[in-house]
Amino acid sequence: MTDLRTDVFPPGVNPERPDVRTVLLTLTGRDRPGVTTAVFDALSRPGVEVLDVEQVVVRGNLTLAVLVTAGAEESATMAAVHRAGAALGMHVSGISGTGDNAPRRKNRLHVTLLGAPVLPVAVAGVAGRIAEQGANIDRVRRLSRYPVTTLELDVSGGDPDALRRELTLEAVAHGVDVAVSPAGLARRGRRLVVMDVDSTLIQDEVIELLAQHAGSQTQAEVAAVTERAMRGEIDFTTSLHQRVACLAGLPESVIYEVRGAVRLTPGARTLCRTLLRLGLTLGVVSGGFIEVVEPLAKELGITYVLANRLEIVNGVLTGRVLGDVVDRAAKAAALRRFAAAEGLPMSRTVAIGDGANDLDMLAAAGLGVAFNAKPMVRRQADTTVNVPYLDAVLYLLGIPRAEVEDADAEATASMYS
């Protein structure tokens, strides 16, 4: 097999060889235009080749690290960069060594830390747990500052299941959310995102909105059964039939009134809009009712929709549903069916839900997200989001807030151009 590295670096210059001299140069100071140009101009010397570059700016302060081969005159190379840095008023440090960066360990992961706020003690706790597991933090970047703060840590050398267990404990202790997901190509490309509707995509429980039109006593009865079902205390199918029976005699017109009363969860439009721009496919599966869910899905650009259908005779609700009830097994089956229709493996799916009825779907997905969920659901999901903003899920997928805002600004500008 051809060694691609020796195709790029001729014999004697391959930076992975331990005897090849290299230099790590680090510049720090106030950022300004032209710093990078000045540094690389100074490095333009015989035998000097760029091996690695890291640059970050925080509150106007620049840190630039450059790893290069030492070249024919190592001391002259370092002196040239020191002069360039001094002219810019920047501090320069240089470390001589051999070889390229040490190869990163296997099991590369992303650890996403999300909170409002994120306190130093939480970051220390997460970092400590990562170290205890023998893993290393290779890189950190901020994905968002508002309405929540999100930090993404590139981690190598850790076991994902063990890290997820340990970091869940740390998240609970500090009131933050922590997600562990694979790095690399597994995070890129096409995906299918499927959401629950009631108390996830929307703030309401549709059946409770319908019950409001049947009087306060019916409303209380429905709410009590809903809560027991969401906690997993009673079978969902049975509970749905019990609640829908309470609606018997309501006019069909209440459905249209409820449609107008539904409130989207904060961030729901942003989540859907951004994922669609990225070429992802969206679906919803609901234990609620297609009469309300379908128009909402169409408005948001959601492709796949599954929900229960109310029986209506002569313009009146009969208190029954048509066909099989969309229970937890049906939700998981729908996720698999949608993925197959898209030609995607289950590893490329994301499921978002809040109740016991979502557990099978969350378990089946490549990434299961418990959104402001019941304790039992939080314990079993891959990760949790406990802030009231649905677009926080974007950060779990590695999408920074700045990119979302830039895309929105471009779309707005195009509307008026």
Contacts of 236 (CB under 8 A, 6+ apart): 229, 287, 325, 327, 328, 356, 357
Pairing relationship of beta strands 304-313 and 281-289 according to DSSP bridges: parallel
The answer to whether 183 touches 342, Cβ cutoff 8 Å, is no
Alpha helices in 278-416 (DSSP H): 290-300, 328-342, 359-364, 375-380, 393-396, 401-415
C-alpha distances (whole Å) from 342 to each of 191, 337, 376, 393 are: 9, 9, 31, 21
Question: How many CB atoms lie under 10 A from the CB of residue 140?
Answer: 15
Sheet containing strand 109-115, edge to edge, reads: 136-144, 149-156, 109-115, 177-182
Q: Pick the catalytic residue: 31, 177, 196, 204?
A: 196
Query: Could you give the 3-state DSSP secondary structure of residue 400?
Result: coil
C-alpha distances (whole Å) from 392 to each of 43, 76, 166, 202 are: 42, 50, 22, 15
Strand partners, 30: 61
Alpha helices in 231-314 (DSSP H): 236-245, 253-261, 268-277, 290-300
Q: Is 31 a catalytic residue?
A: no
Of 81, 109, 112, nearest to 95 by C-alpha is 81
Contacts of 37 (CB under 8 A, 6+ apart): none
C-alpha distances (whole Å) from 285 to each of 74, 303, 319 are: 63, 11, 21
Residue owning tokens 């997993």: 232
Of 177, 186, 174, nearest to 152 by C-alpha is 177
| Alpha-carbon torsion, ordered 305, 281, 347, 328, to 10 deg | -10
Please give the helix or strand (H or E) that residue 141 lies within, else none: strand 136-144
Q: Is 41 a catalytic residue?
A: no
**59 secondary structure, DSSP code:** T
| Alpha-carbon torsion, ordered 39, 44, 48, 53, to 10 deg | 30
Q: Pick the catalytic residue: 31, 198, 382, 391?
A: 198
Burial of 17 (0-12, 13-18, 19+ CB in 10 A): middle
Report, as residue numbers or ranges, the catalytic residues: 196, 198
